Amino acid sequence: MSDLNPLDPSSFAQLEAMIARIAPQWMANPNIVAIVPALKTKGGYVQPQKLVLGFYVREKVAPALLQDRGYSLIPSEIEGISTDVIPAVRKPLGSVDTKETRSQMFDTLAGGMAVGNANMNAYGTLAMILFAQDDGRPVGLTNEHVLVFDGDGHVGDEVQQPRFYLNSEVSIDSAACCPNGQLHYRPVDNPIVDAAAGVFAAAAVAAALSDQIDPHRRGQDATVPDLTERTLRETVSVEMQYPEIPLPGYPYNLDVKWKYQRVTDRRTLEYSASETKPNLHVVQMQELLTDRPVYQRGNQVVFFALLGAELNRETCQNYFVTAAALSPSHRRAYKIILKPWEIDNAPRIDNPNHSLVGGQAVRRCISFNDQKSGDCFRHPRSISGIIFDPEDHTACFVQRGATEPPALVFPHAGLTIRFSTPVQEVLGRVVFNASVTMTAFNGASEVGTATTSGASPTNLHLTAPGITHVAFHGNDESPELLEICTVKHLRKYCAYRGEFTLLPDEEIGMWSTYLFAQTRNDVPLGADPLIAATTIGGLPVTSNFVDAGGSDNITYGHSCLVDIVPNGQFEVTPAVVIG
């Protein structure tokens, strides 16, 4: 038996000539659909070095049943060339539009899975895997709009699979905050976000129906039947519109229309209302600190959480607070409950990048030591919970020398940096050839400006009562940002603490940290049931999600994207062996 080389064009020519010669005899078999050159498949795996005669058949049946069906046996080889019997119709492994299949992480790449350019807010289908004739390397085939889309993608961009991890996706169709599209929460697949997806969905609904007497009771009060009538059934229908993205932990508004209907044995009574409901479950401050920036395997990690209480909640016992740490590969996670903690018990925090200053302020600095030199992006990117947005221009991480710290080269057209909650001070360290300006904003209002002077590098420093974001602009083509630091002044807040121990063989690298807080049903025993019913426990108050921009897909249309973002990070290193 001789094997033909699929990388040799002459092997294809030899096989095609053979097929033309034997086809009239074999195509008389009613079970055979076609005969083609094919790669041998064994045990479900393609043998990329083995070119064979591929017989496509209507059905694969056991040899003992061939004669009964009127089929001929296809031998294992013909004229010394191996054969392979391939079903022409087979049960699909799963639709590419089924989340369980499309979003699966495949160890072996296969056609039909979701892939995308890491620098584009889009995804599409990988058609198939091919092998280059010159050196046999595997290459992927997909459409231009999936990875390039008229020049948004470039040679060398990272291609991710799956691109958006759809298992934990939550969608709100026809949301007013996303004209002509859908609102999608599409987190990275990991042990944390499945629960976060449920929180996002529940919060979007509960915010519309909590904090006052529910529509069912209000409808009952407005449609009291006569004493001689008997109520047969009651229904409540609710229509919610989201003029703003319903990010849990943010003060967004919802437009709610609801209709109550009571059907009696004599008539139908209805009551309806339209109203705008604000999300009241918002904390003014949230911080998650670790006692150190770097840990060895087997070390204890201590979390300190600071929350600014809601206006109507006076005690720190009114929240259920948890924290999580997620490994670099997203395969490992720790999730712990944090307990109320007295700030007077001064913590030891040896973390210069994220520290509590005198119990009155939190200082946080973000550099780019864990970013890959040459990595570029044009759309918003979250780094340690802060959003860096070059606004459709290109920003790239660079490292000028082995001893130089990495820097973010931003376009002279501008770089916007958005903070999860307002801060009172911002310091940016920049490298420049021409002047660079940093402008601070509170919402749409400008609250301060600083411009470089003197030698490079230098620090730009701004203070204001509430800074929601800053914008950098440069007068040359390659200004660099080395570090961004913020200071948040603390007023009334609640403190929480918890710890866990890393495994002796724990995954090394940069871990992300997350802080979650939810309301507790604190209605006292004996309270009026009508008042008690207005309080719902479990509503999120921390802002763990951000607007991640838009996505346009040739199949799925326009989407507005929401991502989960971390609150901080720490590094895990191998344990030091002494002796």
Q: What is the DSSP string of 241-285?
A: E-SS---TTS--EEEEEEEEEEEESS-EEEEEEEEEEE-----S-
17-47, pLDDT tens digit by residue? 999 999 999 999 999 999 999 988 887 777 8
What strand order describes the sheet that includes 159-160? Answer: 124-125, 114-117, 159-160
Alpha carbon 147 to its chain's center: 18
Asked whether the predicted pLDDT for residue 532 surpasses 80, the reply is no
214 SS3 class: coil
The answer, yes or no, to whether residue 188 has pLDDT greater than 50, is no
Q: How many CA atoms lie within 13 A of 102 on its CB side?
A: 19
pLDDT in tens, 154-183: 888 888 776 554 444 555 555 666 666 555
The Cα-based distances of 120 to 151, 394, 395, 452, 460 in angstroms read 11, 12, 13, 32, 31
Ordered DSSP codes for 461-524:
EEEEEEEEEEEEEESSS--EEEEEEEEEE--S-EEEEEEEE--TTPPPEEEEEEEEEEE---PP
- What is the maximum span of the chain, computed from C-alpha positions, in angstroms? 94
Q: Is the peptide bond before 162 cis (omega within 30 degrees of 0)?
A: yes
Residue type, 230: R
Tokens describing residue 474 = 């440069």
Q: Is the pLDDT of residue 185 over 60?
A: no
CB neighbour class for 55 (10 Å; exposed up to 12, middle 13-18, buried from 19): buried
179's tokens:
């004209």
What is the per-residue pLDDT across 103-157, written as a single tens digit (0 to 9) for each? 566 666 777 777 888 777 667 788 887 777 777 777 888 888 888 876 778 888 8
Note whether 185 and 198 are within 8 A (CB): no
CB 338, CB 513: distance < 8 Å:
no
State yes or no: pLDDT of 500 exceeds 80.
yes
From CA 372, how far away is CA 377, in angstroms rounded?
Answer: 12
Comparing C-alpha atoms, which of 462, 519, 496, 470 is closest to residue 567? 496
Q: Is-contact 242 175, C-beta < 8 A?
A: yes
What is the Cα gyration radius of the chain? 31
Average pLDDT over residues 461-487: 91
pLDDT digits (tens, 9 = 90+) for 54-113: 999 998 888 888 888 889 899 999 999 999 999 887 765 555 445 555 556 666 677 777
Residue 572 has pLDDT above 60, yes or no: yes
Percent of the chain past pLDDT 70, that is, above it, reads 80
Question: Which pLDDT score, from 0 to 100, does residue 257 have?
Answer: 87
Residue 370's alpha-carbon distances to 161, 329, 569, in angstroms, are 22, 14, 11
How far, in Å, CA of 38 to CA of 395, rounded? 45
Q: What is the mean pLDDT of the chain?
A: 81
Does the structure show a pLDDT above 90 at 296? Answer: yes
252 or 439, greater pLDDT: 439
How far is residue 190's CA from residue 324's CA, in Å, rounded to a whole number? Answer: 12
The residues with which 497 forms a beta bridge, in sequence order, are 304, 339
Closest CA to 327 of 478, 128, 188, 446: 188
DSSP 5-53: -TT-HHHHHHHHHHHHHHHHHHTTSTTEEEEEEEEEEETTEEEEEEEEE
Q: End-to-end alpha-carbon separation of the chain, Å?
A: 60
pLDDT reported for residue 167: 43
Give the pLDDT of residue 493.
79
Which pLDDT score, from 0 to 100, does residue 514 have? Answer: 92
Q: Which residues contact 226 (CB under 8 A, 6 or more apart)?
A: 266
pTM for this predicted structure: 0.63
Region 452-457: mean pLDDT is: 87
What domains does the chain contain, in order, with CATH numbers? Answer: 9-87 (no CATH), 381-484 (2.60.120.260)
Q: Average pLDDT of 348-364?
A: 76
Give 401-418 pLDDT, tens digit per residue. 777 878 999 988 899 999
pLDDT digits (tens, 9 = 90+) for 219-278: 888 999 999 999 998 988 888 787 877 788 888 888 888 899 999 999 999 999 898 888
Say if residue 205's pLDDT is above 80.
Answer: no
**Distances from the Cα of 301 to the Cα of 323, 343, 579, angstroms:** 12, 18, 25
User: How far, in Å, CA of 418 to CA of 422, rounded?
Assistant: 9
HEC secondary structure over 384-395: CCEEEECCCCCE
Contact 461, 497 (CB under 8 A): no
Q: What is the DSSP string of 538-551?
A: T-B-S--EEEEEEE
**Which has the closest alpha carbon to 494: 246, 318, 302?**
318
Measured CA to CA, the distance from residue 88 to residue 71 in angstroms comes to 15
Mean pLDDT of 546-553: 67
DSSP tag of 419: E
